[in-house]
Amino acid sequence: MKAVKRKGLALVALAVMLFSAACSGNSGANPPASNGGGASSSSTTETTKAPEGKKITLGFSQVGAESGWRTANTQSIQDSAKEAGYDLKFSDAQQKQENQIKAIRTFIQQKVDVIAFSPVVESGWDTVLKEAKDAGIPVILTDRAVDSTDTSLYETFIGSDFVEEGRRAGTWLVEQFKDATEDVNIVELQGTTGSAPANDRKSGFDEIISSNPKLKVIASQTGDFTRAKGKEVMQAFLKANPDIDVLYAHNDDMALGAIQAIEAAGLKPGEDIIIISVDGVKDGFIAASEGKINFIVECNPLLGPQLMEAVQAVVDGKEIEKRIVTEEGVFTSEDAKRELPNRKY
C-alpha cells in the first residue's frame, strides 16, 4: 500500500483575512489581504452593527446529528461561541431544509446580529437569504455551500473543498489498481442527496478514476450519511452484486454501517472489499487501524474557532474573504494506527 503522509490537521490559521475600514467608504486605503486559502473574492454587506459592548447574538442552524462528524462540529461551534462570549441560538434541523428555513426566519424575527448555517442541500436558499439581507442581518455559510449565483447573499463560506476530497479518494484508488488487468467493481455510498459533500465527493472521485477504464462504479446510492442507512444499502449492494472489489463511502459512518453488512455476509472488510471513506472521526480511525478501512480522506469538523472569528469580523464591519478553505490530510490504515491516540473526536 502506498504510504500517504498526512498533510496536517490544522485549520488554515487565521484564514479570515481582515482589513480595516472596508465598510466606512475608504476602501482602497488598504489593499485586500492576499488569498491564503483558496479565496476568490471578498465582500461586505450593509448590515446593522451590534452596539458597542453588547453581547453578540449568533443564530446557528445545524444540519442535524446524522454522523460522528456532525457531533464534533456541533461541539466545536458551541464551545467556540461560549469561549468568544457570544449568545448562541442553536437550532437542529434534523436533516430537513424546511426546518432550516424556519430557523433562519426565526433568527430574523429575533433580530440576531449574525446568522450562520450549514445548508443541508445546495439549492433553494435564495428567498430566505434575501429576507436576511433585506433585514440587514449578515449570513455566514459553514461546512456546506449553497448554489446561489448571487454571492452577495452571504458574507463568506468556511469549509472543506469536497471536490478535492473526492479527488484524493480517487487518486489513492487509481494508484492501488494501476496494474489491474480485470475490471475493478466499485460500489459507492453517497451522502445526503443534493448536499454539497455528496455532489462534490462524487464528481471529484469520478473525475480521477475516469483515467483508468478498469475502474467501474457498478452501483451508487445514497446512505444519507448515517450508519443505519449505510448498512442497509450495503446489504442491498451485496445481494445484487456478488463481486464487489471496492466500497467508496462518502463518510465514515456509512462505511462503519457497511462494514457490519460485509461482516454479516461472511466477508472481510479491508481485504475482500477495499474500503475508502471520508471524515476521519475516531470510530473511523479505529476501523482503519484494525485494517477494516483502507484509506480515509480527512474532513475537519472543528470549524467553530474560524466561524467565531468571522462573526466578529462581520460585526465589526471588516471585510472578510468570500471563501475560507479548511486544510485536511489523508490516512492509510498505518497512519490511522499511529494517529489514533491523538484523535480527539
Residues that bind ligand AHR (CB under 6 A): 66-67, 69-70, 143-144, 197, 225, 251, 253, 278-279, 299
Of 37 and 284, nearer to ligand AHR (C-beta) is 284
Of 69 and 154, nearer to ligand AHR (C-beta) is 69
Taking alpha carbons only, the member of 113, 148, 158 closest to residue 127 is 148
Cβ-based neighbours of 76, under 8 Å, separated by 6 or more: 301, 302, 303, 304, 305
Number of Cβ atoms within 10 Å of the Cβ of 123:
11
Q: How far is the CB of 247 from ligand AHR (least distance, A)?
A: 16
Q: How far is the CB of 156 from ligand AHR (least distance, A)?
A: 16
Q: How far is the CB of 52 from ligand AHR (least distance, A)?
A: 36
Q: How far is the CB of 161 from ligand AHR (least distance, A)?
A: 12
Q: How far is the CB of 152 from ligand AHR (least distance, A)?
A: 24
Q: Are 91 and 61 in contact (CB under 8 A)?
A: yes
- For residues 100 and 104, give the distance between their C-alpha atoms in angstroms, rounded to a whole number: 6
Of 162 and 237, nearer to ligand AHR (C-beta) is 162
Cβ-based neighbours of 124, under 8 Å, separated by 6 or more: 97
Of 299 and 308, nearer to ligand AHR (C-beta) is 299
Task: Tell me how long the chain is.
Answer: 345
Q: How far is the CB of 117 from ligand AHR (least distance, A)?
A: 12
Of 225 and 248, nearer to ligand AHR (C-beta) is 225
Of 137 and 146, nearer to ligand AHR (C-beta) is 146
C-alpha cell read off for 256: 462503519
- For residues 277 and 299, give the distance between their C-alpha atoms in angstroms, rounded to a whole number: 10
Of 67 and 222, nearer to ligand AHR (C-beta) is 67
- For residues 289 and 44, give the distance between their C-alpha atoms in angstroms, rounded to a whole number: 45
Q: How far is the CB of 127 from ligand AHR (least distance, A)?
A: 23
Of 81 and 255, nearer to ligand AHR (C-beta) is 255
DSSP code for 153: G
What backbone torsions phi and psi does residue 105 show, to the nearest 5 degrees?
Answer: -65, -40
- For residues 62 and 66, give the distance between their C-alpha atoms in angstroms, rounded to a whole number: 11
Side-chain-side CA neighbours of residue 240 (13 Å): 13
Strand 330-332 with 295-298, pairing: antiparallel
Q: What is the CA radius of gyration of the chain?
A: 21
Q: How far is the CB of 33 from ligand AHR (least distance, A)?
A: 27
**CA distance to 142, 194, 243, 314, per residue, from 50 (Å):** 21, 35, 60, 10
Of 7 and 111, nearer to ligand AHR (C-beta) is 7
Q: How far is the CB of 245 from ligand AHR (least distance, A)?
A: 24
Number of Cβ atoms within 10 Å of the Cβ of 92:
17
Q: Are 120 and 195 in contact (CB under 8 A)?
A: yes
